[in-house]
Amino acid sequence: MSILARLFSFRGRLGRADWWLFAVALNILAAVLGAVLTPILAPPGTTWQGSETAPAQFVGMGVTLALLWPALALNVKRRHDRGAAGWPSALLFVVLLGFNSTPLLYFVGAIAAFEHFGFPGVGVFLLAIAAAWIWLFVSLGLLPGAPGPNRFGEPVKPIFA
């Protein structure tokens, strides 16, 4: 499987080593793009509706959206390697990424949890988000793939093997 197929296709399988390689590379790329584009697109002193942080957040959301497809493709293929459907982890990843790239969603979720359940509800809300990230980390990054072929195909040889 080519590097482009590993990054952009939702078909097939992806082993742990390749998942880690591409996940780290995408995170480094996101950090570099954010560091390079933020001063250009949202220089210090830029405001949007009175907020000095909003322009930089929009740049961050743009970088996140630009890298969303490869991140989803990697996660789906990694779940395929474990013999499971990829869409549940892809959906969870999108929701969690929405929370992380848009801090306002944390605020809205915490307020909703507080209004319905008080302070314990806020704690449960934040713990649920943390538990979901931990589940994704363990499921995608630590657990081994299914040995031999499964319904998603043959195991893929790692890039540097």
pLDDT of residue 9: 95
pLDDT of residue 54: 76
pLDDT of residue 42: 83
pLDDT of residue 12: 95
pLDDT of residue 7: 93
Q: Which residue reads 């605020």 in tokens? A: 107
Cβ partners under 8 Å of residue 67, min gap 6: 26, 29, 30, 33
pLDDT of residue 143: 95
pLDDT of residue 127: 93
Q: Among 95, 58, 93, which Cα is nearest to 77's? A: 93
State how far the Cα of 62 lies from the Cα of 88, in Å rounded to an integer.
24
pTM, full prediction: 0.84
Q: Is 81 in contact with 155 (CB distance < 8 Å)?
A: yes
Run means of pLDDT, 10 residues per run, the chain, 161 residues: 91 95 96 92 79 80 91 96 93 87 81 91 91 93 94 91 69
Helical pair 54-66 and 16-41, crossing angle rounded to 10 deg: 140
Q: Which residues pair with 51 in a beta bridge?
A: 48
pLDDT of residue 66: 93
